[in-house]
Amino acid sequence: MARAMWKGAIQFGLVTIPIKLYVATESRAGVSFNMLHEADLSRIQMKIFCPVEEEVISRSDTVKGFEYAPGQYVVITDEDLESLPLKTIRSIEIEQFVESSDAASNTRFVKQAYYIEPDKIGRKAFGLLKSVLRDKGLTAICKVVIKDREALAALDPFENTMILSTLYWPDEIRALADLDLADDEPQIKPAEKAMAEQLIGAMTGAFDPRQYRDEYRTALMEIIESKIEGRAVVAAAPVEESSNLIDLMAALEASVRNAKAAREAATPPPTSVADAKARKAAHADDGVAAGTAATEADESKPARRRKSA
């Protein structure tokens, strides 16, 4: 069973909804490596070393320290963190409600998503808040302290619960001015735009995440298994470097042809009218045969005698 990583309450106005937070995503175990000494392939150890006493110390002998001046520290304890005068330490404080469409551009930089589980006593209030947000197309902007840090967050309905998405603060988001972007939009020919729309249309379809897999991990595991079994590692064919887009239209036209070919290969051939009629007739014949067999079986059974009164 999932384990709650935070317990508290959603707070808006005078309404308090006791809830638990569960991390909504998890990273599947990738291919992990250990650091080895190259000479003897022994696994190295990472130890906590005190340069003053020149000895290895235990992690339990460490404390949190804030460097307020070069080489000068003040120790911060767990009790200090618990005593912070913030309501958001144990509650998700809703600051305002905004149109979800308007909030989308400012809530796309997500740190972590959390499922919310309301306590039984707060299910009615939780359901009420969720239904209003869903019906009105609203997002709740709130603040909460998670792991010793206050976070800006967005609260949105999701299926039969809600998702709390912690966001980056505005000063944590890098400015686009750091990029080398053109000041003016490039001139696009109508034919180029039409061909690009055709290519995008050929590649458009319903998104099914199950169609995708981690191909890098699969290829890496094949190399590892080859080394374990003593087999030679087969080098992958070099990837051709893409050339400069000298002829954009030619590249688009070729891409459209490839996309259509890929879609046709993945789509089963359509059933002709004659095939459909033949299948329907076959099903009808099967049904008649089954009915005839059942009738014959009933007629072959001996008649049951009625009991006399």
Q: What is the pLDDT of residues 166-180, one digit of tens each?
A: 999 999 988 888 888
At the second CATH level, the architecture of 6-26+83-172 is Beta Barrel (2.40)
d(CA 109, CA 179): 18
Q: Which of 23-37, 127-141, 146-160 is least confident?
A: 23-37
The proportion of the chain whose per-residue pLDDT surpasses 70, expressed as a percent, equals: 81
Chain position carrying tokens 């392939």 = 41
Question: Regarding predicted confidence, which is higher, 276 or 299?
Answer: 276
Residue 296 has pLDDT above 60, yes or no: no
The pLDDT value recorded for residue 278 is 67
Residue 126 has pLDDT above 70, yes or no: yes
- 62, 78 contact by CB (below 8 A): no
- 195, 259 contact by CB (below 8 A): no
Mean pLDDT of all residues in 200-218: 84
Q: How confident is the model at residue 307 (pLDDT cuts 50, 70, 90)?
A: very low
Long-range Cβ contacts of 22-29 (<8 Å, 24+ apart): 22/114, 22/115, 22/116, 22/117, 23/112, 23/113, 23/114, 23/115, 24/112, 24/113, 24/114, 24/115, 24/163, 25/112, 25/113, 28/214
Residue 103 has pLDDT above 80, yes or no: yes
The pLDDT value recorded for residue 308 is 46
Mean pLDDT of all residues in 4-11: 92
The pLDDT value recorded for residue 122 is 93
Residue 29 has pLDDT above 80, yes or no: no
- 118, 7 contact by CB (below 8 A): no
Q: How confident is the model at residue 223 (pLDDT cuts 50, 70, 90)?
A: confident
- What are the residue boundaries of the structural domains of the chain, listed by start? 6-26+83-172
Residue 96 has pLDDT above 70, yes or no: yes
pLDDT single digits (tens) 250-282: 888 888 888 888 877 777 666 666 666 666 666
| Average of per-residue pLDDT values in the chain | 82
Show Cβ contacts of residue 87 under 8 Å, excluding neighbours closer than 6 positions. 11, 93
The pLDDT value recorded for residue 83 is 75
The pLDDT value recorded for residue 217 is 82
Residue 32 has pLDDT above 90, yes or no: no
The pLDDT value recorded for residue 284 is 61
Residue 211 has pLDDT above 50, yes or no: yes
Residue 110 has pLDDT above 80, yes or no: yes
